[in-house]
């Protein structure tokens, strides 16, 4: 069987690519999905439906369009990787983790040691906490191929 | 019928009390629940089960004990109010919102205008966005008593 | 046991009151809930959260606030009565019927004979079709009290 | 992955074909399903099971046969497009939208600006509102292929 | 806690009354519900909605009205007792048992030894098979009061 | 898409083969599943696990083994055909229909006119009632291929 | 609100009573339920339905009768306490824990340190691990009454 | 269709291989999944995420990593085989059985006669009890291929 792995969270470093490359090198039976990671494209996702003058509604409209994709991929994935970086609020990553908890989908967090405390509720409902993309690849290798 | 309303998020301002007081003044048919909001007590929730030397596991243990309460109250509430303040990461608030989305529970966000953009995914799945506790009380009044 | 009955749809005739009065006269073990039926109040439900210049977003905001109430009452009811009158589009009534079908909640439609054809999909998923409020009361009487 | 998209609603204009053609031109990974859109065939769906003299029961029988198809396709789709035109009651379209809301399936509405107000509850639970088939194609393109 | 017990099946002997009396004598914390057991009333449940000339549709209409009650009571019960007598087809009893299996509701069958073989699938999904109403009362006593 | 159709009920006439042949002739996109229809094999399904002296337990054991298959196929099917013949009790057919109703799976009944009354509850929850295998094939053709 | 707490597992020490007494002393808003803890009564739960010569079927019958109670109480509880002692296999305790995990019900394990390793999968899905009944009472106190 | 069969429990005898070989010999349409059965690898599953000094947390971390795999395979399987040997506690096997019961997944137990009594609750919720791997293969053959 192929495993569907959803990559959620931070879009300002290349952690997704590192995991994808690592999985490819090891030839893991894994298919990756993700939100749209182009920041500008993501913010403008709803613009095609008509311009908004109020920034709240522009964000609202784009987020709902993006939600069609993220909800579908989250619902179909076998496990999600939720990444928290050192910048920005990243509430969407925590939201995705909560969504996973709500629907009973296992997820792995990926973050540095210095944000353990504010992430304690998110980590408490996770199946694992990784510090590096390489660790995530190791776990995916073990979970999908060990005997 | 009495409405169960869960108050999630920020614990450094008195927004919970303002909502509770407002609802009491108007005699709304509402019962409020909440996570433990005493920060020290919450961080120490698991200590009674044995001390931990590693702070990750202390947080982990306490968060799981707190999770017994928060998951139960969230599952039983009719609507959640999720508050984001201007300090700290507040990933647990976003996590609660995501959990609500996952189990199909309506929620209202409560936050200032300056964090609209980072909260766009959380707001997009919410039923309403309020800027003040008084607005939340107004909405609760309308939802539970209008005819 | 008390039965929770949700009254959905048309707000321009007194069908709700007729059913409520009929149930009261017979002393049926029934509790009624409903959306807010004051048209102006309902359209303005979200105004307290801030004025909107764009009518789409005003409607959107108010409808979501109303949705907190309607979804909660629908989820808690034992049976819904969905009324279609001879005026207006009444898509919200058909929407409520579809919602009931989606969550497996039994509902009864209430409408005249001349709109049988356009309502055929809505009637096909209903447990009964009544033509008068009195018939609804009779059914509620039978369902809750016959032996 | 291929996306399953259900096309619900109006059958008197060629909006379905426009979306299907647009998706084909762009080579989108999308599979479309739909109710039977031949009006006469749809009305007669149950006739093979025996003629009915009462038009209510003929409609009832045909609608249930059609319901085998529509429920199955709705349950299997990833996203539904729900179209409201300017003629007829189209309660079945609103019913499908409500069904989607009930089972947690994302949907996009497609309608002109002049029916915003009567569709406010339907739009409030939608992930997007499009005014043209071309906009729907754009959204499908973004959701299924953006990176 | 009070236990809700649904009594399904045969209406031509007094097994329901025997169980209700037995439970009352022992003062068990049990509340009983049931379909309407007056045969004529049950067959005529839908007549108030208009006469039918075709007996299939008369049955259909009445069965759906009865279904509002039976589905609601089955969904709310903690355990169902499903009785099969020696006369008639009693497919509705087997249907109720299957419904219980579908929604994960425990049920006890009540029938004589001579119909073990045709009831084997129904018994296989049951939690117990009783031969007499007295045995059912004994089981209810044990389940609700033993320590 | 291929449709999975479960054929439940009577095993003493060739209705299954007629439907399968009819679907093949029309080249319908349909895959059929069924319980084991060899009566002796079905009754002996559990014998390999050890002989039983008590016929109740032999039936019980075999029915549970058969249940692994029937539950799995019912859970995976898109629509079930439930056949009632003129002989035997056929409670397992009614049980399967109830199971479908419990899990929200559409089903079609197949039976003669003379057993309408005892099957009224089973028919009331069905999507259609057919009198002949040919009618079932017609419905499957329409549902899976009409446009 | 009152919390429903299910006490699962070992029946050879007085841990249940210690927790119940501790909760009573502190006047906690907690209601306790449990399987029948009288070993002989529990083993004989099905005897009233007829004697069995084969011990497997006697156990089977009694376990199913007990299952009516345990499944109902587990489904209704807010949190379960699952106790593992130092004697016997106690597979039923591990089964209850697995059931909780399957339906998303939080549970706390209660066991000594020397069986950490064989219980690792059970503990991994638990919300907390307590070593003494007193610790369980402390956690219940915190969860139900802290502010 | 291919059947997914999850093999749970004892890792100290070759029962898995016997079942897999038996199924291969008969060319059954069955795909097997399993937890990682290399004891050392399984205990060390979480080590890649960082060493732990406390054995409870090492076990916890590894069990959660293993849980990503076991939960996913259990959720995807059509039927589970749960094996209990004569050594060790094997609480994880009973936990898997309970999980299956919680999510409504059929399972077959595989164990010797001398542990019938302590396994009575686990067997009571099972679809079959086998004593040898060969019997399991026979059942799989019957369930997947009989006609």
Test mutation, E50, E53, E54, chain D, max D CBs within 10 A: E54
Taking CB atoms and an 8 Å limit, are D102 and C97 in contact across chains? no
Q: Is the ipTM of this complex over 0.95?
A: yes
Mean pLDDT of D82-98: 94
Helix axes E55-76, E91-103, angle to 10 degrees: 40
**pLDDT tens sequence across D43-79:** 999 999 999 999 999 999 999 999 999 999 999 999 9
- Judged by a CB distance cut-off of 8 A, whether residue E54 touches chain D is yes
pLDDT (mean) for E34-46: 97
pLDDT at D1: 86
3-state DSSP of C37-97: CCHHHHHCCCHHHCCCCCHHHHHHHHHHHHHHHHHHHHHHCCEEEEECCCCCCCHHHHHHH
- Four-residue CA torsion sign, F49, F51, F54, F55: positive
Number of H helices, E strands in chain H: 6, 5
Chain H residues within 8 A of G97 when measuring between CB atoms: 95, 98
Q: What is the pLDDT of residues D113-137, one digit of tens each?
A: 999 999 999 999 999 999 999 999 9
pLDDT mean across residues, chain A: 97
Query: What is the torsion angle, in degrees rounded to the nearest 10, for the CA atoms of residue F134, residue F135, residue F136 and residue F139?
Result: 130
For residue F86, the model assigns a pLDDT of 85
Is it the case that residue F88 has pLDDT exceeding 90?
no
Which has the higher per-residue pLDDT, H74 or H87?
H74
Per the CB < 8 A criterion, the answer to whether C92 and C118 are in contact is no
> Is the separation of the CB atoms in H30 and H104 below 8 Å?
no
The whole-angstrom distance between B97's CA and the closest CA on chain A is 6
pLDDT at residue H141, as a whole number: 98
Tell me the pLDDT tens digit for each residue of B41-85. Answer: 999 999 999 999 999 999 999 999 999 999 999 999 999 999 999
Q: Please state, for a pLDDT cut of 90, what percent of chain D lies above it.
A: 96
Task: Check CB contact of B71 with chain G, cutoff 8 Å.
Answer: yes
- Residue-averaged pLDDT of chain B: 97
For the segment B32-42, what is each residue's pLDDT rounded down to a tens digit?
999 999 999 99
DSSP secondary structure string for all residues of chain G: -PEEEEEEE--SSSHHHHHHHHHHHTT-SEEEEE----HHHHHTTTGGG---SSHHHHHHHHHHHHHHHHHHHHHH-SEEEEE--SSS--HHHHHHHHHHHHHT--EEEE--GGGTTTTHHHHHTSSEEESSHHHHHHHHHHHHH--
What is the model's pLDDT at position F120?
A: 98
Q: Is pLDDT of B24 > 90?
A: yes
Are C64 and B128 within 8 A, CB to CB? yes
* Residues of chain G neighbouring H42 (CB-CB closer than 8 A): none
A30/D contact by beta carbon, under 8 A: no
- Measured between CB atoms, does C147 come within 8 Å of chain E? yes
Nearest-Cα distance to chain C for E63, in Å, is 9
B10-19 pLDDT tens trace? 999 999 999 9
pLDDT tens for each residue of A60-89: 999 999 999 999 999 999 999 999 998 888
Which pLDDT belongs to residue D87? 85
Structure tokens given for B51:
């001390």
CA distance E94 to E8: 9
Nearest-angstrom CA–CA distance, C63 and C69: 10
Nearest to D72 among F78, F128, F131 (CB): F78
Q: What is the C-alpha to C-alpha distance for residues B114 and B112, in angstroms, rounded to an integer?
A: 6
**Residue E134 CA neighbour count, 13 Å, CB half:** 2
| Whether F and D touch (3+ CB pairs < 8 Å), yes or no | yes
Q: At residue H87, does pLDDT exceed 90?
A: no
Does the beta-carbon distance from H63 to G129 stay under 8 Å? no
Mean predicted lDDT score pLDDT of chain H: 97
Per-residue pLDDT tens over the stretch E68-87: 999 999 999 999 999 999 88
Q: How confident is the model at residue H104 (pLDDT cuts 50, 70, 90)?
A: very high
Give pTM, 2 decimals. Answer: 0.98
Q: What's the rounded mean pLDDT across residues C14-20?
A: 98
The rounded radius of gyration (Å) of the Cα atoms in chain B is 16
**Per residue in H31-47, pLDDT tens?**
999 999 999 999 999 99
Touching pair D, G by Cβ (3+ pairs < 8 Å)? no
- Interchain CB contact of F108 with D (< 8 Å): yes
- Residues of chain A short of pLDDT 50, as ranges, are none
User: Among A60, A99, A124, whose Cβ lies nearest the Cβ of B101?
Assistant: A99
Query: Which of D80, D82, D128 best probes binding to A when mutated, by most A CB atoms within 10 angstroms?
Result: D128
- E103 in reach of chain C (CB within 8 A): no
Flag whether pLDDT at G129 surpasses 90: yes
CB contact under 8 A, H36 and A106: no
Give the span between the Cα atoms of C24 and F83, in whole angstroms. Answer: 45
Q: H100-109 burial string, b = 16+ CB within 10 Å, else e?
A: bbbbebbbbb
Predicted confidence at residue H61, as pLDDT, reads 98
Q: Does G88 touch chain F (CB under 8 A)?
A: no
Percent of chain B whose pLDDT exceeds 70: 100
| Average pLDDT, integer, range D32-37 | 97
Q: Do E127 and G65 touch (CB under 8 A)?
A: yes
pLDDT, mean of residues G7-19: 96
8 A C-beta contact, residue E6 and residue E100: no
Distance from the D58 Cα atom to the nearest Cα atom in chain E, whole angstroms: 11
Pick H130's closest partner by Cβ from F38, F49, F68: F49
Whether D6 and D37 have beta carbons less than 8 Å apart is answered as no
> In chain E, which residues have their Cβ closer than 8 Å to the Cβ of G77?
none
Chain C within 8 Å of D82 (Cβ-Cβ)? no
Res D70: pLDDT: 98
Mean of the per-residue pLDDT values of chain F = 97
User: Model confidence at B1, in pLDDT bands (50, 70, 90)?
Assistant: confident
Contact list in C for residue E50 (CB cut-off 8 A) is 131
Summarize pLDDT for C99-117 with one digit per residue, the tens. 999 999 999 999 999 999 9
Touching F (3+ Cβ pairs <8 A), the chains are D, E, G, H
DSSP letter (8 states) at residue F2: P
Instruction: State the pLDDT at residue H24.
Output: 98
In this prediction, residue G88 carries a pLDDT of 84
Distance CA B6, CA A135 (A): 37
């Amino acid at each position: 069987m192929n495993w569907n792995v959803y990559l959620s969270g931070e879009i300002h470093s290349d952690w997704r690519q590192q995991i994808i490359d690592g999985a490819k090198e090891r030839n893991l039976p894994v298919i990756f999905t993700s939100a749209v990671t182009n920041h500008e494209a993501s913010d403008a996702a709803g613009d095609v439906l008509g311009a908004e003058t109020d920034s709240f509604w522009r964000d609202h409209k784009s987020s709902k369009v993006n939600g069609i994709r993220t909800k579908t991929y989250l619902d179909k994935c076998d496990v999600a990787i939720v990444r928290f970086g050192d910048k920005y609020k990243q509430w969407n990553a925590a939201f995705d983790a909560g969504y996973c908890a709500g629907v009973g989908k296992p997820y792995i967090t990926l973050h540095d040691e210095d944000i353990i405390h504010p992430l304690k509720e998110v980590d408490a409902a996770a199946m694992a906490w990784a510090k590096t993309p390489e660790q995530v690849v190791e776990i995916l290798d073990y979970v999908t191929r060990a005997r």
